[in-house]
Structure 1
């Protein structure tokens, strides 16, 4: 059974002002995402859902153990999920907010003056 990737969210302007605890949690999410390797992994997983660690390692030219370590951090935060397929563990993005954030961040970076 496929799990629901996300629930509809209210607009930012309709949300109450961030309290300190929620702001700290949001900060932790941004810390997880503020790593170039994890961003590359997220992009690759978005491009190829249900990709294996071996396939990711080949695409990113990294060691599988290094990929696994970063995927674990993303999994712990609920951004990706794994499933076993024979000898392979495959990953997919389950938080579509992160996909949107990656896209928006990329757009912002492209438009920055050089």
Structure 2
């Protein structure tokens, strides 16, 4: 896996995107959204995201025991989710608490909406 740093996603830039069923994304829009999908493309991160999104907030101390991974590895995966704009975190004492960013998932959901009809033209 690449050690390349992921940029923090600007969710306002994602809001500009029409559903992909309406019109193709341009290069800049795809560059904004791709880190979110990349972050969710890992089974560990997808499972972490599911655990975080299923409650209002969760402590890292409750996430770590659910995996057969070291604490630093879990922290890395959480950092990727945070940098992709999918979760917020807040340090309280020695623990970090995580919560899903509903606006990120609303935007991803709108992007993936397939019930929308194309604005013009069709295929033969």
The alignment yields a C-alpha RMSD, in angstroms, of 3.1
Give the superposition deviation at 1:90.
0.5
SS at match of 1:12: coil
Where is the helix percentage greater, Structure 1 or Structure 2? 1
In the other structure, the counterpart of 2:57 is 50
Matches of 1:54 and 1:37 in 2, distance apart?
A: 16
Deviations 1:36-78 (A, max 9, x none): 0000000111123321212101123432211111111111111
1:93 aligns with 2:94: no
- Which protein, 1 or 2, shows the higher relative CO under an 8 Å CA cutoff with sep ≥ 6? 2
> Structure 1 regions of 5+ residues with no counterpart?
1-5, 103-114
Q: Secondary structure at the residue paired with 2:98?
A: strand
What is the aligned partner in structure 2 of residue 82 from structure 1?
89
TM-score (norm: length of structure 1): 0.65
Report Cα offsets for 1:4-62 as digits up to 9, x if no partner: xx88x686279654112212332332212110000000011112332121210112343
**Structure of greater Rg:** 2
Give the unaligned 5+ runs of structure 2.
1-10, 110-124
